[in-house]
Structure 1
């Protein structure tokens, strides 16, 4: 064997590339290769195991490396589909030493995934008693000393005691979900201990089913004592904490809810921030927040529970144009949850959208804004020319407006012609021009076809002749997999259009070139 292969740095580089080059979804080939290398010779053993366990090591696998008479899987699967590992005998010092040998190599631990509400499933779950026994073996040091990433759910005091044994100074990413229904006495103290226990923390996520004011305050205080954060996902933050976070040079991603009636005294820098996701009860608070920022955001999402009129939204767009770099923004999402009363229905016009057209490098735009968007074919052309790189455009997917669409199939062709990278389009179209034509050749279309559009959502577009509309769409959208609509079959006043679009979708799939 070449002498250079005895150098640990070279081994490490080569073995890490084994993981990178494995294109399989579960990385089975990389696991098998690294395991084989660990068994090949003593020169490869430790480095190969380090890489293997850093990428695939779990606490369940470390337990399964201990003697088989110590642990066993419960024959009855849990509701989440996991087999539960349970303790079958007393844990000895020799068992602990075996576990410790592998635990030193574990970098990632996720026990949050055992909760079915997160939409994930584990093949192996771990009984709380088994975890508690492991945690009690050596109280002088963390259970997993070199852990860098931790996901955990807190239901009660036992979860809190266990996580204290797992927290370590090497931790850089912490994901916490608080599902406790009854109060957990030491929870606030634990949250406050995160900063001194994990001074190198870079990513922090705290979710709670009911984030009390006391818990919010503890989270806020913790954030003020962490100075290397790059990613923060949490609940409500007040203006004081945001002022502190805005001065963090490391912060790249921030997802938060704004405290109602938050008042900002100073400009918020956020000089390096790239991703901002803000939930505001009152969208005017979001307007105030954004107007104080001078940054280079790439992703911006704004959600509001309250109805915002067209004038407020137009003001938000103007503020965005002056506070966010036109060259950096790639993704923009604005959603207003509440549907307005019909007597208060307002409409955005093209001139209200002009400030957004200055962001000419946008690739994803999602606007579901609780008021109408009045566009015609000329407006469609201007939008398409302003956003040539657009890949996803969604306009009012969930809002049925009393204002009929003024975008005809000609406007649709503008999007297809000027936006070659478009993958998903959600737009209400007036198809009457197609339905009134006797000639099905559509010579005016020319050779316009779109080779990338995968999903086309017509929202509340009205339809009368399913066959003619399907024939037109099949000619210009040969690669589209799905044609969606928002009409609901169960509602009497919508059933007619829902049935016609259902028929058009079936015909479209049969007619595609």
Structure 2
């Protein structure tokens, strides 16, 4: 054996990197799942020699999304485990990851549990560092009852660091005590009982060292805020609501880098502290109240790298004035050289707008100029209530302002179609000035196709080609429907984006103008021609 493999730290790193080949947990970098092939690699590594046994098993068992694997490590005559395939959505089942995720499990006890039955269970359970209640089975109360009454060691996972606890049935929530260990630094739970503050009292007194906290559901503001005020080491926080004292507390934390405020109503902001900077380390901020976002950005924006505005709680569509205030707040509050990502979400359901008042919701291209100060943007997705009315001049200035952009999306509401004033000349600006752009979603008018040469300094020269763009979403952009028309568009796009292989368009409903359907079919022919 190579001498390097006799060093425990090196073997541990090899095993940990093998386990981390899958997706990582957003708050701690620990794996949230392991692909079957990776599990096989770790199992074979554990069987290679005793030097690899413990590091490989630690990595193999480090994350668990179900108790099922531990139950199967116990004597085979102890549990009866019946797997029933989900029948409602076979396609979804076939597309999902593990076998257990495709099964509904019924678990029952066959005989009395003996003390020796726990030996292999505890041998593997002590290796678990991250546990997520995976909603895999719906009849686990018997398992939790047995663990509560007969498990010999109190805490099931003595070395656990991250716990995601979302039991299917609310009455199972109290079993969380089985998985609470003093080594926990990350806790993500969901509550639906505003009267139950006992969990926050427990966390406040016994877990002051939590670094990553996510609380969903319905919580009582006062006990939750009191709990947050007890935490001094927070690095990430997902909070349904905060009172002014708790908000002021987290604004002073030196290591808080991720904050998601899920409240549907604007929080009550305390007076701005003068002795310390607000949110000195905050890099990512998610806010669900677009009305409160400008004021919150004044406190949170100084060190932001990413700003997101989910639209889950919007009851009415925001007007263009609200968006104007938001973009002005971003420009005035965020450091222009730091911000890299801006994401404004779109509601999952269409919000009704009076057709006679569309002008109150359609943004002009000039409304976006406030964001042109952010020269290092790499990802911009702005979903407005209707659309943004771009023209070629704004498109050219935008492309010049964001030379590092990789993803640029302006998704539009298909309920209200507006005629875009941007043409293929504006699209060309992104080929000319955005060499890293890979995914573009924008409305434009493709009924007129420019020549394959451009003019610069009075001289005609070939147009620039950009070899990164792979996806182009045109929404309901206009295009000529004759064969010669869409072929000219395809040839033009191929000349400026030689690696473009998919054009996406919004499929119209059956009740629209037949010409709109012809335009959609023309775009699909463009996509086929480029493939």
| Distance (Å, rounded) in 2 between the aligned partners of 1:350 and 1:163 | 51
Report the equivalent of 1:496: 515
| Distance (Å, rounded) in 2 between the aligned partners of 1:504 and 1:41 | 62
Does the 8 Å CA contact 1:58/1:106 hold for their aligned counterparts? no
Report the equivalent of 1:82: 103
- Which runs of structure 2 are paired with 1:287-326 in the superposition (5 Å)? 287-303=294-310, 305=314, 306-326=316-336
Report the equivalent of 2:76: 68
Note if 1:226 corresponds to 2:231.
Answer: yes
- Which runs of structure 2 are paired with 1:394-405 in the superposition (5 Å)? 394-398=409-413, 401=416, 403-405=418-420
Unaligned runs of 5+ in 1: 115-121
Report the equivalent of 1:279: 288
How far did 1:258 drift?
A: 4.2
| Distance (Å, rounded) in 1 between the aligned partners of 2:198 and 2:474 | 52
CA gap 1:59/1:491 in 2 versus in 1, 3 angstroms: same
Post-superposition Cα deviations, 1:414-466, rounded to whole Å, max 9, x if no partner, equal 112211222221211112323xx9xxx75559454443223222223233425
Note if 1:12 corresponds to 2:12.
Answer: yes
Report the equivalent of 1:236: 241
Post-superposition Cα deviations, 1:190-228, rounded to whole Å, max 9, x if no partner, equal 2332233333322222222xx2xx534433222222222
Note if 1:349 corresponds to 2:364.
Answer: yes
What count of residue pairs does the alignment treat as equivalent?
Answer: 486
| Distance (Å, rounded) in 2 between the aligned partners of 1:487 and 1:446 | 34
Please report the TM-score for the alignment, with normalisation by the length of structure 1.
0.84
Report the equivalent of 1:103: 125
Report the equivalent of 1:118: none
How far did 1:355 drift?
A: 1.9
Report the aligned-residue RMSD: 3.2
Residue among 262, 268, 271 paired with 1:266? 271
- Which runs of structure 2 are paired with 1:450-461 in the superposition (5 Å)? 450-461=466-477
Report the equivalent of 1:119: none
Does the 8 Å CA contact 2:384/2:412 hold for their aligned counterparts? no
| Distance (Å, rounded) in 2 between the aligned partners of 1:139 and 1:22 | 33
Does the 8 Å CA contact 1:277/1:301 hold for their aligned counterparts? yes
| Distance (Å, rounded) in 2 between the aligned partners of 1:37 and 1:303 | 43
| Distance (Å, rounded) in 1 between the aligned partners of 2:83 and 2:265 | 50
| Distance (Å, rounded) in 1 between the aligned partners of 2:47 and 2:417 | 70
Local SS of the residue matching 2:325: helix
- Which runs of structure 2 are paired with 1:100-249 in the superposition (5 Å)? 100-111=122-133, 113-114=134-135, 127-138=140-151, 141-156=154-169, 158-178=171-191, 187-208=196-217, 211=218, 215-249=220-254
Does the 8 Å CA contact 2:222/2:243 hold for their aligned counterparts? no
After alignment, is 411-420 or 310-319 more displaced?
310-319
Local SS of the residue matching 1:109: strand
Post-superposition Cα deviations, 1:12-60, rounded to whole Å, max 9, x if no partner, equal 344435546799x955555344434433444443333223322569632
Does the 8 Å CA contact 1:169/1:197 hold for their aligned counterparts? yes
Please report the TM-score for the alignment, with normalisation by the length of structure 2.
0.81
